[in-house]
Chain A
Amino acid sequence: MMQRLGARAGANRRQGPGPGPGGTSRSDLSPRDAWLLRWRGHSLLLPRRSLLGLAWLLLGLMMVFIASLSIGSMPLAPQRVIAALFGSGDPLDIYLVRELRLGRLGAALASGAGFALSGCLLQTLTRNRLAMPDIIGINNGATAFAVASIVALPMSFAPPMLALVGAVTATALTFALAGGVGVRGYRFIIVGVGIGAVFGALTNLMLARTSIDAANAAFPWTVGSLNGSGAGAQTMLWIGLAVCLPLAMASTRGLSSLRFAEPVALGWGVRVARLRLFALALAVICAALAVAVAGPVGMIALIGPELARRLSSHRSVPVLNAALAGAILMALADLLGRTLLAPVEVPVGIVTALVGGPYLIWILLRGDSPRAL
Chain B
Amino acid sequence: MSAATGSVRFTRGLGFSLLALGVALCASLALGAGDVTPLQVLRWALGDDDGNVGFVVTELRLPRSCVGIVVGAALGVAGNLLQTVTRNPLAEPDLLGVSAASTTAVVIAILLGASVTTLQVWVAVLGAMCGCALVLAAARLRGVGDDPIRLILAGAALKGVLTALVSLVLLVDQRSADEIRFWTIGALAGRGYGELLGVAAPLLLGVLLVAYLSRPLAALALGERVASGLGHRPRLTRWLTLLAVALLSGVAVALAGPIAFFGLVVPVLARALVGPDIRRTLPLCVLLGPAVLLAADVVARLLVRPSELPLGVVTAVIGAPVLVAVVRAHRLPRL
Contacts and interface: CB of A to CB of B under 8 A. Distances in A.
Do chains A and B make direct contact within the complex (CB under 8 angstroms)?
yes
Interface of A: 128, 130, 134-135, 177-179, 186-187, 189-191, 193-195, 197-198, 200-202, 204-205, 207-209, 212, 215, 222-223, 298-299, 344, 346-347, 349-350, 353-354, 356-358, 360-361, 364-365, 367, 369-371
Interface in B147-170: 147-150, 152-154, 156-158, 160-161, 163-165, 167-168
A194 B138 contact: no
Nearest to A359: B157
Contacts of B156: 135, 193
Given A186-B148, A208-B181, A364-B150, A177 B328 contact: yes
B137 A365 contact: yes
B317 interface: yes
A269 B319 CA distance: 40
Chain B interface size band reads 35 or more
B144 A364 contact: yes
Contacts of A202: 313
B1 interface: no
A342 to B, nearest CB: 13
Contacts of B165: 354
B117 interface: no
B171 A346 contact: yes
A344 B260 CA distance: 32
Nearest to A341: B172
Contacts of A347: 167, 171
**For the complex of A and B, 5 pairs with smallest distance between CB atoms:** A357-B161, A353-B164, A201-B316, A194-B323, A360-B157
B164 to A, nearest CB: 3
B223 interface: no
A222 B166 CA distance: 12
A177 B185 contact: no
A363 B294 CA distance: 40
Nearest to A191: B324
14 contacts: A179-B328, A197-B316, A205-B310, A208-B181, A209-B307, A215-B181, A222-B167, A298-B164, A350-B164, A350-B167, A361-B154, A365-B137, A367-B141, A371-B150
Contacts of A346: 168, 171
Given A190-B90, A193-B152, A371 B147 contact: yes
B183 to A, nearest CB: 10
Contact of A186 (B164, B172, B332): B332
B172 to A, nearest CB: 7
- The prevalent SS among residues of B at the interface is helix
Contacts of B172: 344
Contact of B319 (A194, A222, A223, A344): A194
B212 interface: no
A127 B308 CA distance: 42
B141 A365 contact: yes
Contact of B316 (A198, A209, A365): A198
A257 B10 CA distance: 50
B261 interface: yes
Contacts of A189: 149, 152-153
Contacts of A356: 160
B333 interface: no
A354 B153 contact: no
Contacts of B168: 346, 350, 354
B320 interface: yes
B178 A212 contact: yes
A250 to B, nearest CB: 30
A201 B260 contact: yes
Given A195-B320, A205-B309, A208-B185, A128 B164 contact: no
Contacts of B161: 353-354, 357-358, 361
Given A222-B167, A365-B137, A177 B150 contact: no
B160 A134 contact: yes
B165 to A, nearest CB: 7
B142 interface: yes
Contacts of B152: 189-190, 193
Contact of A128 (B90, B149, B184, B261): B149
B308 to A, nearest CB: 10
B182 interface: yes
Most central of B90, B158, B313, B332 by chain A CB within 10 Å: B313
A365 B149 contact: no
B143 interface: yes
Given A177-B328, A205-B309, A208-B182, A353 B163 contact: yes
A353 B182 CA distance: 22
Interface in B53-100: 90, 95
B154 A187 contact: no
Contacts of B144: 364-365, 367
Contact of A193 (B95, B184, B312, B328): B95
B313 A205 contact: yes
Contact of A365 (B138, B310, B317): B138
B201 interface: no
B11 to A, nearest CB: 33
Contacts of B178: 212
A299 B160 contact: yes
Given A197-B316, A208-B181, A369-B143, A130 B160 contact: no
A179 B154 CA distance: 24
A223 B164 contact: yes
Contacts of B204: none
Contacts of B261: 194, 197
Nearest to B150: A364
A135 B153 contact: yes
A346 B316 CA distance: 29
B327 interface: yes
Most central of A134, A222, A360 by chain B CB within 10 Å: A360
Nearest to A223: B167
Contact of A357 (B157, B307, B323): B157
A204 B312 contact: yes
Contact of B327 (A178, A212, A370, A371): A178
Contact of B320 (A194, A361, A367, A371): A194
Interface in B208-236: none
A298 B138 contact: no
B171 to A, nearest CB: 7
A208 B310 contact: yes
Contacts of A197: 260-261, 316, 319-320
B317 A364 contact: no
Most central of B165, B168, B182, B310 by chain A CB within 10 Å: B168
